[in-house]
Structure formats: C-alpha cells, structure tokens
C-alpha cells in the first residue's frame, strides 16, 4: 500500500571506495577552513574546501570525515559557497585504507585542469559534548568538553588547513596543545583569541595511513556553557486528520532530559531563585521553554503526570491561507512544573488544533488530498534521540502515499480504531533518530477518500444515536411497566 515517491537522497554505493594513488590525484585542496561552534547537545560545524582540479573532466569531489566524526554527524549538506541549493551527495562508506568515511559530491559543472571551486560542508553533530566534571553542585558553573581530530581529513593533498573552535563564552577552561606538528607549522600550532581557539595554519598535509598513525591526534576543548543541555529522549507525535470536524490535531508526548552535569548535593529552591535573580549559573537549569507553533492554533493544552500545568502562555496569530509565505507563528511559552536540573527528566504532553484547510489541499481532478505535517516542533538547542510520528488519516482513506523530508529509520502502515469508527483509520508511522535543528521539514501524505467512506461516519454516528434512542425507549417501557405495578 505504501509507495515511496523518491529514493533516498543518500545512496550507500558500496562499503569500499578506491583511494587514489598519490601520482594520480584528481584534486588538491588549496585551503581548508573548519569552524566548530561549540554548543550543548548540538555542535554546528562548517568546513570550506577551496579545491583545484589537477586532471581534466572532474565531475565529483570526495569529502572525507573521520570515522568518529561520521558517527556523531546527524545531519549534513554540501553547497557551492554562496549558493543555497545543496549538491547531490552519495555516501561511499569507508575508504580502502580505512582512514575515514567518504562522501562523493556531484559538482555543478565539470572542472577542467586548474579549475577551482569553493565547497562548503555543513554538519550538525549530536552527543558530541559531555559534562566534565560529570557532577556539579548548584553553585558551580556548567562545564562541557568537546573532542575532535586535529587534522581535517581529505583524500587529496592540502596546501593549508586550519580549524577554529568557537565557544559562546570566552571563559574557556583549557584546550589541547598539539604535539609533533613542527614540520607543518610556520608560527604557533594553536592560538586563542577571545572565545576562539585556532588550530593551524598547518601546511602541506597529505593524508595516508602512515600520516594518520604518526600525526593525527585528538584535541579537546573544555568550556563554560550557559544554557541547558537538552535531550529529548523520546518524542511521540500523533497527528490526527479529521475531515468530519475539519480539524488537524497534533499531540506530542515528550520525554525530556537535562543532560548537563548531575546535581551534587541537594537542590535549594532559594539558591535557585537568588541565582536567577543575579543571572548566575542558573541558565543551565531548564525553567521555561519557548516553542513556535503554527498560526491559527486553537485549544492548546499542556499536561504532565500530575495533570494540567497552568503556567503556560500562548500568543496566537491568526491562521493563514495554505501556500502563502507566512513567517508568522504562534508562540507557546511552557514552564515545567519544577525547574529541570542537570540529570533530571521531565515528561509532558502538549497538543493543539489547527484548521484542516491550513495544511490540506484537494485536487478535484483526481480526488487526491495532500497534507503537510511538520516532523516536529523545534525545542531550541535540543537533540531528539528517538522520534515517532504517527499520522492518522480519515476513515476509509486509500491510495496512501507519503514522502519524508529526509530519510526515515523505518515506516509502517497500521490501522487506528477509535470510537464511532467502523473500519478503523489508516495510519502512517515514521521513525527517526538524532533529529537536530536542521530537521525541520514536512512529511507530505496524499490519499483519497471514497465517497462511501465519507458516508460511513454519519451512518455510524446515526447508528450510535439510534441505539441510544432505542435504549431510552426500552428503558421507558421498562420504567412504565414498573410504574404500573
């Protein structure tokens, strides 16, 4: 029943890709600059490759990530510098000599000898930092550690490369000074200026297994981070489409964790309040969240295990016509029932309704409905470890097709049966892992609803109505008989 609209954008072509022998390298990197923006759960990395073709007719360029880097990379794209459309990228897997993981980028135009191009690889890394120390008292700052490889890997020779690591605060506790790099540097091997630590420039780097074994080394940066390190352990989103009520209901069950250092000793609310007052060390305690919901939201609700949480606030914006470029959204401010400290968890449910016509379109020529459902509502700075999105279609919907904005982990089709349904409603369930602030697209689902299915609901409602009526009638008769006695 499920048919995919397109193949995955990333094709796993093969586990082993050829490494080039030195003599025949098709490219060289005139320069590589990598910028790492340190965060909590998310670390954004942007790497610019200034490439030059050494052989004629080049149509693909290979980017190499170290294996550790690939493992923590949850999102990436490659663009020509200054352009907005991402290039097609195929994952080739590990290279022959097992140095790293290769991505093959299709170039927008063929490069002749000496032809140059600037490519930008953007990635988001998740679970790439950890609290250090792992436990801290309420009065101590939140310190995190981030690790990376010193040299940027590439299958081609690199004339010069440097890595900039930026912290949001200049308060950096420590950073690694590389060793054995004298043959690659002209000045220092590392410098710090404000909140930025620069490794390099390093000159004339040619990666191979010998180089890796001899010179590649881990670097780590130990820094202050003044925001909560948020991990959504699980997100269960249910989107229920009701033609009958002309409504789209979206409900999220969220299991949130503050992955900062675990609290050492007891939590003092008084201390927390005075810290908040002086804006000291309290920003890594989660005490409120601001979410952007679609315009036209009604009936927003928020509850946890203990019932409704009244300390939330919704600023609505009116709904907008589908397809119009609305930058408007409703703002939902949530306050958890208690401040969520490092190592603490908080489970809650939020839900809201929007008018169905804001997200569905209907093509009268073929009778196909097309609906867009956002994969998630972004929680700023948070990684979503496991997400499941269930889209419940109207009863009797057929010819269901869907397209995910990025590859899903799995997809299934099930039937969801609720009160007053006769045959149950088809549901599409998609699972995802390690979602970041870049995973913001829509899942598009198309379906048809046969005319007979449109009639089923009224019929089952009237059947239910009739049975209540019949029961009341019977009851009255019984009642009458009793009175007669």
Ligand X SMILES: *[C@@H]1O[C@H](CO)[C@@H](O)[C@H](O)[C@H]1NC(C)=O
Residue span 16-45 as binding mask against ligand X, x where in contact by CB under 6 A, dash where not: ------------------------------
Residue 75 is a binding residue for ligand X (CB under 6 A): no
Sort 287 into a burial class: Cβ within 10 Å, 0-12 / 13-18 / 19+.
middle
Rounded Cα–Cα distance for residues 457 and 436 (Å): 39
The pairing of beta strand 42-53 with beta strand 307-308: unpaired
**8 Å CB contact between 359 and 373:** yes
Longest dimension (CA), the chain: 111
Report in angstroms how near the CB of residue 53 gets to ligand X at its nearest: 9
The 10 Å Cβ neighbour count of residue 227 is 16
- Nearest alpha-carbon partner for 43 in 191, 145, 173: 145
HSE toward the beta carbon, residue 48, CA cutoff 13 A: 15
The pairing of beta strand 410-416 with beta strand 425-435: antiparallel
Residue 307 is a binding residue for ligand X (CB under 6 A): yes
- Cβ proximity to ligand X: between 433 and 438 the closer is 433
Figure out which of the listed residues 12, 113, 420, 468 binds ligand X, where binding follows CB under 6 A: 113
Stretch that binds ligand X, among 151-159, 318-326, 339-347, 433-441 (CB under 6 A): 339-347
- Nearest alpha-carbon partner for 46 in 24, 67, 75, 26: 75
Under DSSP, the state recorded for 54 is S
Report in angstroms how near the CB of residue 48 gets to ligand X at its nearest: 22
- Cβ proximity to ligand X: between 129 and 404 the closer is 129
Stretch that binds ligand X, among 41-49, 300-308, 313-321, 469-477 (CB under 6 A): 300-308
Residues in the interface with ligand X (CB under 6 A) total 10
Rounded Cα–Cα distance for residues 187 and 346 (Å): 50
CA angle 408, 409, 410 (to 5 degrees): 90
Figure out which of the listed residues 115, 343, 355, 405 binds ligand X, where binding follows CB under 6 A: 343
- Cβ proximity to ligand X: between 228 and 393 the closer is 228
Token readout for 44 is: 């954004």
Residue 55 is a binding residue for ligand X (CB under 6 A): no
Under DSSP, the state recorded for 249 is E
Length of the chain: 485
Residue span 175-214 as binding mask against ligand X, x where in contact by CB under 6 A, dash where not: ----------------------------------------
Token pair 């305690």 is found at 285
- Cβ proximity to ligand X: between 91 and 434 the closer is 434
**8 Å CB contact between 242 and 252:** no
- Cβ proximity to ligand X: between 180 and 333 the closer is 333
- Cβ proximity to ligand X: between 224 and 258 the closer is 258
- Cβ proximity to ligand X: between 150 and 286 the closer is 286
Residue 464 is a binding residue for ligand X (CB under 6 A): no
Residue span 257-296 as binding mask against ligand X, x where in contact by CB under 6 A, dash where not: x---------------------------------------
Residue 257: what are its φ and ψ, rounded to 5°?
-135, 140
Sign for the pseudo-dihedral over CA of 274, 279, 282, 283: positive
Stretch that binds ligand X, among 340-348, 352-360, 391-399, 401-409 (CB under 6 A): 340-348
Figure out which of the listed residues 83, 177, 308, 361 binds ligand X, where binding follows CB under 6 A: 308
For ligand X, the binding residues in 424-443 under the rule CB under 6 A are none
Rounded Cα–Cα distance for residues 232 and 286 (Å): 13
Figure out which of the listed residues 116, 345, 412, 462 binds ligand X, where binding follows CB under 6 A: 345
Q: How far is CA 112 from CA 20, 50, 105, 115, 324, in A?
A: 18, 15, 16, 5, 43
Q: Can you name the residues that pair with 210 across neighbouring β-strands?
A: none
Rounded Cα–Cα distance for residues 139 and 92 (Å): 48
- Cβ proximity to ligand X: between 306 and 327 the closer is 306
Stretch that binds ligand X, among 34-42, 165-173, 343-351, 426-434 (CB under 6 A): 343-351
Stretch that binds ligand X, among 84-92, 166-174, 301-309, 347-355 (CB under 6 A): 301-309
Residue 372 is a binding residue for ligand X (CB under 6 A): no
Report in angstroms how near the CB of residue 310 gets to ligand X at its nearest: 9
Rounded Cα–Cα distance for residues 259 and 144 (Å): 11
Residue span 144-163 as binding mask against ligand X, x where in contact by CB under 6 A, dash where not: --------------------
- Cβ proximity to ligand X: between 70 and 284 the closer is 284
Cis-peptide, bond into residue 169, ω within 30° of zero: no
Residue 344 is a binding residue for ligand X (CB under 6 A): yes
- Cβ proximity to ligand X: between 145 and 233 the closer is 233
Cα-trace Rg, the chain: 28
Residue 410 is a binding residue for ligand X (CB under 6 A): no
- Cβ proximity to ligand X: between 231 and 395 the closer is 231
Sign for the pseudo-dihedral over CA of 383, 387, 392, 393: positive
Under DSSP, the state recorded for 22 is G
Residue 233 is a binding residue for ligand X (CB under 6 A): yes
Q: Which residues of this chain interact with ligand X, rule CB under 6 A? A: 113-114, 233, 257, 301, 307-308, 343-345
């Amino acid at each position: 029943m499920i048919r995919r609209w397109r193949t995955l954008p990333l094709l796993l072509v093969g586990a082993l890709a050829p490494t080039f022998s030195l003599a025949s390298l098709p490219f060289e990197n005139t320069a590589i600059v990598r910028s790492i923006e340190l965060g909590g759960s998310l670390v954004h990395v942007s790497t610019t490759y200034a490439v030059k073709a050494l052989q004629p007719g080049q149509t693909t360029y290979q980017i190499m990530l170290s294996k550790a880097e690939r493992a923590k990379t949850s999102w990436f794209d490659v663009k020509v510098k200054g352009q907005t459309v991402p290039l097609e990228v195929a994952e080739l897997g590990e290279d022959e000599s097992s140095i790293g993981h290769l991505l093959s980028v299709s170039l927008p135009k063929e490069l002749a000898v000496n032809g140059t191009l600037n490519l930008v690889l953007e990635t988001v890394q998740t679970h790439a930092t950890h609290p250090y120390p792992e436990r801290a008292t309420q009065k101590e700052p939140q310190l995190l550690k981030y690790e990376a490889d010193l040299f940027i890997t590439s299958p081609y020779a690199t004339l010069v490369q440097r890595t900039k690591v930026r912290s949001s605060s200049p308060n950096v506790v420590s950073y690694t000074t590389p060793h054995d790099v004298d043959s690659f540097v002209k000045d220092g091997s590392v410098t710090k200026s404000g909140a930025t630590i620069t490794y390099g420039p390093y000159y004339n780097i040619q990666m191979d297994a010998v180089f890796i074994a001899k010179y590649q080394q881990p670097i780590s940066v130990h820094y202050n981070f003044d925001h909560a390190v948020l991990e959504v352990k699980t997100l269960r989103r249910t989107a229920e489409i009701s033609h009958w009520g002309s409504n789209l209901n979206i409900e999220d069950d969220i299991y949130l964790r503050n992955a900062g250092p675990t609290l050492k000793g007891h939590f003092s609310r008084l201390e927390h309040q005075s810290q908040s007052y002086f804006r000291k060390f309290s920003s890594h305690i989660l005490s409120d969240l601001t979410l952007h919901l679609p315009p036209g939201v009604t009936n927003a609700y928020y509850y946890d295990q203990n019932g409704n949480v009244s300390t939330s606030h919704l600023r609505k914006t009116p709904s907008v016509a589908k397809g119009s470029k609305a930058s408007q959204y409703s703002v939902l401010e949530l306050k958890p029932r208690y401040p969520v400290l490092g190592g603490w968890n908080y489970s809650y449910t939020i839900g809201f309704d929007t008018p169905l016509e804001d997200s569905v379109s209907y093509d009268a020529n073929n009778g196909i409905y097309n609906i867009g459902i956002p994969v998630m509502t972004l929680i700023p700075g948070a990684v979503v470890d496991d997400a499941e999105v269930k889209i419940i279609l109207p009863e009797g919907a057929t010819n269901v097709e869907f397209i995910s904005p990025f590859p899903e982990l799995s997809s299934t089709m099930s039937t969801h049966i609720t009160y007053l349904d006769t045959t149950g409603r088809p549901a599409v369930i998609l699972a995802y892992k390690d979602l970041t602030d870049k995973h913001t697209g829509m899942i598009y689902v198309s379906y048809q609803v046969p005319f007979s299915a449109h009639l089923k609901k009224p019929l089952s409602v009237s059947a239910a109505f009739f049975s209540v009526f019949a029961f009341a009638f019977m009851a009255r008769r019984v009642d009458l008989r009793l009175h007669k006695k």
